[in-house]
Amino acid sequence: MKHLTIKDIAKMAGVSTAAVSFVLNDKEGVSEETREKIKMIIERTGFTPNVHTRRLNLKKSFNINLAFKQNVSMLSNMFYMEILASILSESKNFDYNIVLSDISDVEREKRLLNNILNNDTDGIIFLQDPSQQFINKIEGTELPFLVVDTQRPNANYTAISVDYKNAAKTSVEYLITKGHKRIAFIGMETNTGFYHNTFGGYKEAMENANLPIMAGWIQSNAYDEKSSYDCMQSIIDSTMLPSAVFCASDVFAYTSMLCTKDNGFRVPCDISFFGMDDLHSSKYVQPSLSTLSVDEEYMGQAAIRLIDKMINKEEYESIVLSSTTIIERTSVKDLSK
């Protein structure tokens, strides 16, 4: 029984090998009566098709390349590691192998293109936007691909994105409801689209509440541990201390709180902090970080489901996540009471 093939199952059922493949992959194309007959034979024999057989019958490699830049910041590493864990978990439900591909430079991009030309991948999931030049090359191969966490407005390719502007606005509005009127901002100007959206949401919330925005409170040079620490130091050195700081990433908040403590201030008694991501580690920092949840698990699951639809030429469309869930912990002092 261990050496049965799809042809053997087809012969037992008196059907074509294509019909057996349809049933194995839960595709339409066979009658319900035939489907049940094939399923009964598969169950009775304990048949499991090997990978090579499935590749030949379905003309698929069952490989998906997960492409990313290895030289990204710690912020991106932590955020995308949570998405990656979800992608790996969900891929098992679709029998895909995930092949990690570093595209940090031109030579590594060429390696990925060679995989495509050798028919060694069924699709590509990019974590964050690659260069437009590389996108053009991938489009030339006609291979299905999508971008997770795109920051390009009106991207002309399939993508999963987050409404970061509304997420930032919701975050700052939460601080305002807690009685905070002097609110600083720490963001990442090197990622232009992300900065534009997060600062835009912060600015809109502050303006709607008729609250002042002090120049020294706007810090846009955060990128990693040191730079976010330095941004907080600049805020502390400004002419007036804010009562709260909105950080466009949980990671920025971690080191900003450390800087605040190093300067002899208490969190949240002297300065409150609010992040955006809800990384797993945010519940373990001291004090635990209040933040707005961005569903990295769903982003990973959606990426696999979406690329599978693209590969199988089913209907699909890009996804925009609306993140508005506040996670209340202990890093924000309530001044409204």
Q: What is the pLDDT of residues 13-46, one digit of tens each?
A: 999 877 887 887 777 778 999 999 998 998 888 7
For residues 77 and 170, state if they share a domain: no
- Output the CA torsion 76→78→84→85 (10° steps): -170
Distance CA 222, CA 73 (A): 10
For residues 282 and 175, state if they share a domain: yes
Residue 227 lies in a domain: yes
For residues 238 and 148, state if they share a domain: no
For residues 232 and 247, state if they share a domain: yes
pLDDT for 112: 92
For residues 152 and 82, state if they share a domain: yes
Nearest 5°: CA angle at 306, between 106 and 296? 80
pLDDT for 26: 72
Beta strands of the chain (E only): which ranges? 63-68, 97-102, 123-127, 145-148, 159-162, 183-186, 218-219, 244-247, 272-277, 290-293, 319-321, 326-327
Residue 333 lies in a domain: no
CB 210 within 8 A of CB 185: no
Residue 337 lies in a domain: no
Q: What is the CATH classification number for the domain harbouring 99?
A: 3.40.50.2300
CB 126 within 8 A of CB 147: yes
β partners of residue 273? 245
Tell whether the model's pLDDT for residue 135 goes beyond 50.
yes
Tell whether the model's pLDDT for residue 301 goes beyond 90.
yes
pLDDT for 300: 97
How much of the chain exceeds pLDDT 90, in percent? 71
Domain range for 77 is 63-162+296-321
pLDDT for 3: 66
> What is the rounded end-to-end Cα distance, in angstroms, of the chain?
72
For residues 170 and 253, state if they share a domain: yes
Quote the number of domains for the chain.
3
Q: Across residues 274-290, what is the average pLDDT? A: 96
Q: Across residues 3-17, what is the average pLDDT? A: 83
CB atoms within 10 A of CB 127: 24
pLDDT for 48: 72
Strand order in the sheet with 218-219: 218-219, 183-186, 244-247, 272-277, 290-293, 326-327
Which one has a higher pLDDT value, 75 or 119? 119
pLDDT one-digit tens code per residue, 250-260? 999 999 999 99
Q: Which residue has the tokens 């609110």?
A: 183
Residue 326 lies in a domain: no
Residue type, position 147, single letter: V
For residues 115 and 197, state if they share a domain: no
Residue 332 lies in a domain: no
Q: Across residues 256-284, what is the average pLDDT? A: 97
For residues 83 and 27, state if they share a domain: no
For residues 240 and 288, state if they share a domain: yes
Residue 328 lies in a domain: no
Mean pLDDT (the chain, rounded): 91
pTM of the model: 0.82
Among 58, 76, 93, residue at a domain's last position: 58
pLDDT one-digit tens code per residue, 43-74? 888 777 665 555 555 567 789 999 998 766 54
Compute the chain's Rg from CA coordinates.
25
Which one has a higher pLDDT value, 176 or 93? 176
For residues 264 and 169, state if they share a domain: yes
Tell whether the model's pLDDT for residue 1 goes beyond 50.
no
Q: What is the CATH classification number for the domain harbouring 31?
A: 1.10.260.40
Tell whether the model's pLDDT for residue 228 goes beyond 70.
yes
